[in-house]
Amino acid sequence: MTMKQKKDAPSRLAPAFLNGMCVGRPLVIPFVTAGFPDKWSTPDVVEAMCVAGADMVEIGIPFSDPLADGPTIQHASEVALEGGMTVAGVLEIVESVRMRDDTRDLPIVLMGYFNPLLAYGLESFLDDAKAAGVDGLIIPDVPPEEGREYRAACVERDLSATFLVAPNAPDERIRIVDQFSTHFSYCVTVTGVTGARNEVQVRTLEFLRRMRSLALKPFVVGFGIKEAAHVLELGPHADGVVVGSALIDALSQGKEPATVAAELIAPLRAAAERIASSRE
């Protein structure tokens, strides 16, 4: 394929969200840190998640100072960096994921802090990410005010740029984030950092309802989601559910990707399907 064709390739994101909306269930979106537990396993992890029912995958670019992350993802980033993971290495992972039959059309977004992308060169990074088969980006330390150029550069390449929004956001802020996100926004369940949590707060549900009434674009919800019960509670109020730390925790225990996927992702997908059938 030539660069030109790739540039015009339609994003895999819009169809995925449209499909979710048609069947009436949230997308199941695992998050994995590239290079965790080691440099070689990430494509296998992504493939296993996909086979077990993931609708889309977020791949984390490790950073030395992940200030929006709790201990689990901090640790995963440290391990990945010690194992030699680099920004270019993350793009190679995406390339190899794209060569596999099961994951050829899986929507993939990268989640990473701003500095490593600036060091790579933002424009070249976006070019290379597009060419590798990335569909979009989530940069937790770039709010809309700092994201104008980055957003425009994504739009130019038909990459999605997703901005985050938290329960303490006033309505006006929610509207800004919704407008700024190109395809979908990311709601964090709590004011806080990533990390598996036990209970869903009432406030989170109120926030998601507020989001639903104000947002024009789809949105996913993440931070703290680890089990089917969470999906059943939050899923009806969002277009996707992200599960990160719980997955990293399971991988840390040395389990095979396929086992982790069967134990963790399959039940989340089943929960998402139940939401759809209860709506019929």
- Give the interface with other proteins as residue ranges (CB under 8 A): 63-70, 74, 78, 81, 86-87, 113-120, 140-143, 145-146, 163-166, 168-170, 173, 177, 188, 190-193
58 is catalytic: yes
Annotated active-site residue in 8, 38, 47, 69: 69
Number of CB atoms found within 10 A of residue 157's CB: 17
**Least CB distance from residue 227 to other proteins, whole Å?**
22
Pick the closer one to other proteins by CB: 37 or 66. Answer: 66
101 is catalytic: no
φ/ψ (deg, to 5) at 244: -120, -75
Pick the closer one to other proteins by CB: 191 or 277. Answer: 191
Q: CA 36, CA 49: separation in Å to the nearest integer?
A: 15
**Least CB distance from residue 119 to other proteins, whole Å?**
3
Helices within 133-235 (DSSP H only): 148-156, 171-180, 202-214, 228-234
**Least CB distance from residue 98 to other proteins, whole Å?**
23
Q: In sequence order, what are the beta bridge partners of 161?
A: 137
- Residue 184, sorted as left (phi over 0), alpha (psi -120 to 50) or beta, turns out to be beta
Pick the closer one to other proteins by CB: 77 or 96. Answer: 77
Number of CB atoms found within 10 A of residue 155's CB: 12
Query: In the sheet that 185-188 helps form, which strands lie side by side, from edge to edge?
Result: 160-162, 136-138, 108-112, 57-61, 27-33, 240-243, 219-222, 185-188, 164-165
**Least CB distance from residue 91 to other proteins, whole Å?**
12
**Least CB distance from residue 214 to other proteins, whole Å?**
15
3-state secondary structure of 220: strand
Annotated active-site residue in 47, 58, 135, 239: 58
Pick the closer one to other proteins by CB: 57 or 90. Answer: 90
Pick the closer one to other proteins by CB: 113 or 184. Answer: 113
Active site residues per annotation:
58, 69
